[in-house]
Amino acid sequence: MRKQRKIDPFSALMEIAQAQQGYFTTRQAIAAGYADNTHTYHVRTGNWERIQRGIYRLAHLSPAEDGLTPAYLLWTRGRDDKPLGVLSHETALSYFDLGDFNPPKVHLTVPPDFRRNSQPPKAVVLHHALITPAETTLLRGMPICRATRTLCDVVLKNILAQEECRRLVKEARRRGLILDSEITAAKANPKFSAIAGKLFP
């Protein structure tokens, strides 16, 4: 019987971290093969950078393209250690390069029943709402709210943004960021029906 080759913990952790712009969680490090009692050593010697409780970054990797945003998403992780939050509202619009939105804080939407013992990071604005898988996509490996839902959310939060968002709908449609099926779903959603009727005539 052939002996199975032991996976190198460093290589395993590298694969995980590179998919998350260098960041990883305590549980992911343990799954890669790093014993819990060695984590302090790797921080002390400069191999890992401690970002916040339970979240680290491999120090030798290039700076993250999206700064601390991937770490903020990991802060929303559920029991399966995967993010429950998605980038949303003005943050999502800025990632889609729609309009002149450049929010000073990162907007994240988490499930209605999301709870944490710790306060959100100071740079995060947390919204509680149900977002379906059909309303999300991946951008640079990060979950992000699709343009149709995002525009509805922005207007729901601030009715004064309605005219600006109506203008952005035309650009988003031209770029293929909005699907007819999404508009139909938004108009059928009691939460957004009135807004969708005005945004997507």
User: Averaged in consecutive runs of 10 residues, what is the pLDDT profile of the chain (201 residues)?
Assistant: 68 96 97 95 97 96 96 95 96 95 93 91 96 95 97 95 94 96 96 95 87
Residues 54 and 77 in one domain: no
Residues 75 and 114 in one domain: yes
- For residue 108, the cross-strand partners are 87, 126
Helices then strands (H, E): number in the chain?
Answer: 9, 8
Residues 27 and 111 in one domain: no
- Domain contains 134: yes
Residues 187 and 135 in one domain: yes
- If residue 125 lies in a helix (H) or strand (E), which one and from where to where? strand 124-128
Structure tokens at 140: 């640079």
Give residue 4's pLDDT. Answer: 54
- Domain contains 1: no
Owner of token pair 């709402």? 129
Give residue 1's pLDDT. Answer: 46
Residues 102 and 190 in one domain: yes
Q: Domain tally for the chain? A: 2
Give residue 67's pLDDT. Answer: 96
- If residue 155 lies in a helix (H) or strand (E), which one and from where to where? helix 147-157
Which residues contact residue 98 at a Cβ distance below 8 angstroms, ignoring those fewer than 6 apart? 147, 168, 171, 172, 177
pTM score, whole prediction: 0.91
Which residue range forms the structural domain that includes residue 136? 69-199
- Domain contains 151: yes
Pick left, alpha or beta for residue 157 (phi over 0 → left; psi -120 to 50 → alpha; otherwise beta). alpha
Residues 23 and 117 in one domain: no
Residues 195 and 130 in one domain: yes
* Residue pair 106/69 in contact by the 8 Å Cβ criterion: yes
Give residue 68's pLDDT. Answer: 97
Whole-angstrom Cα distance, residue 132 to residue 111? Answer: 10
Residues 117 and 136 in one domain: yes
